[in-house]
Chain A
């Protein structure tokens, strides 16, 4: 099975940088995903890591260390619209494990 841990809540100031951590224990691994979910809306895809290292996409970056079972999502130049829940998800390695297992999400509040 899979177990995914991330902080429940975080608060940061507009214009600042925030790092949201995610740790996981899995029986197989085939990629780690970050999704953004605004209140009352569907999750939307942010990033995907399958190899170790940093993936950068505009203001958002995601890092993966497979040996440590660790990832983080880095948000730069925070904007008020970044207030949302950020979901870490892991995909298993074979067969029925192809489905994503999600963490409980980190609720980020951006303050003016």
Chain B
């Protein structure tokens, strides 16, 4: 596609429920990143996929968080047993090797009530 697409744009969920966030990167971009941004805070790195290599999961805050990337394209970030502190905007970005930087999607605003 023309840009990075994320869905849903907004998600309200009850504490303890599982949620799935989707990211569709720019076609041909081999690298995909997930970040989250809490209110008034900077971007916190979560996970990084590069081609067929094993993902860098070093930023995932707990084992309730997981992500996969199917066919080197679409990625899903799953949060199990959501907690109120998981409330944030979850941003996905993609880039191609040698790019100067990332192209971000518009994000998913997750609210856990």
Query: Do chains A and B interact in one complex?
Result: yes
A interface residue numbers (CB < 8 A to B): 31, 33, 35, 41-45, 48, 87, 89, 96, 98-105
Q: How many A-B residue pairs have CB under 8 A?
A: 49
Q: For B43, give its contact among A31, A45, A48, A102 (CB under 8 Å).
A: A102
Q: How far is the CB of B67 from chain A (nearest CB, A)?
A: 13
Q: Is the Cβ of B100 less than 8 Å from the Cβ of A48?
A: yes
In Å, the complex CA distance between A24 and B85 comes to: 28
Within 8 A of A (CB), among B28-82: 31, 33, 35, 41-43, 45, 48, 50, 56, 58-59
Taking CB atoms, residues of chain B closer than 8 Å to A104 are 41-42
B interface residue numbers (CB < 8 A to A): 31, 33, 35, 41-43, 45, 48, 50, 56, 58-59, 91, 100-107
What 15 additional pairs, Cβ within 8 angstroms, besides A43-B43, A99-B48? Answer: A31-B100, A35-B101, A42-B106, A44-B104, A45-B101, A45-B102, A48-B100, A89-B101, A96-B58, A98-B31, A99-B45, A100-B43, A100-B45, A101-B45, A104-B41
Q: Is the Cβ of B42 less than 8 Å from the Cβ of A103?
A: yes
Taking CB atoms, residues of chain A closer than 8 Å to B45 are 99-102
Q: Is the Cβ of A33 less than 8 Å from the Cβ of B101?
A: yes
Q: How far is the CB of B24 from chain A (nearest CB, A)?
A: 14
Q: For A42, give its contact among B41, B59, B104 (CB under 8 Å).
A: B104
Q: Is the Cβ of A42 less than 8 Å from the Cβ of B91?
A: yes
Taking CB atoms, residues of chain B closer than 8 Å to A41 are 106
Q: Is the Cβ of B42 less than 8 Å from the Cβ of A105?
A: yes
Taking CB atoms, residues of chain B closer than 8 Å to A96 are 48, 56, 58
Taking CB atoms, residues of chain B closer than 8 Å to A102 are 35, 42-43, 45
Q: Is the Cβ of B106 less than 8 Å from the Cβ of A87?
A: no
Q: How far is the CB of B103 from chain A (nearest CB, A)?
A: 7
Question: Which chain B residue has the least Cβ–Cβ distance from A48?
Answer: B100
Subset of 7 A-B contacts with CB under 8 Å: A33-B101, A35-B101, A41-B106, A42-B91, A45-B103, A99-B45, A101-B45
Q: Is the Cβ of B100 less than 8 Å from the Cβ of A87?
A: no
